Amino acid sequence: MIFKHHLAQLSDESRTFDTDFTVMWPTLESVTAPIVLVRGRRGFLSDDVVAEFAARVPSARIITVDSGHNVQEDIPVELAALLRTTLP
């Protein structure tokens, strides 16, 4: 399963929306490799979605950074440093 979305073109008025992530849960729950979720504090993932992610993938590491949704665009240098220290 491939899940991909691109929301960078949304206007500020439409930045709040309800996304159904249920299609992703079975795939994420079956992953045996280490998972790191890097979440932008001002991004699209709600606290409820992240809490469900943590419950469904308890071995995952969740890191929240001071960024919007596209962390790689907002703080690329900081993200690279974070990944260097987080990934094996």
CB 66 within 8 A of CB 12: no
Confidence grade of residue 2 (pLDDT, cut at 50, 70, 90): very low
pLDDT tens by residue, 33-58: 999 999 999 988 889 999 999 999 99
Better pLDDT: 77 or 12: 77
- Measured between alpha carbons, how far is 54 from 56 in angstroms, rounded to an integer? 6
Q: Which two tokens stand for residue 23?
A: 């299609």
Q: Which helix (H) or strand (E) holds 71?
A: helix 71-74
Distance linking the first and last C-alpha atoms of the chain? 25
Q: Which among 43, 45, 29, 46 has a CA at the least distance from the CA of 71?
A: 43
Hey, where are the domains in the chain? 30-86
- Mean pLDDT calculated for residue range 14-27: 71
Confidence grade of residue 6 (pLDDT, cut at 50, 70, 90): low
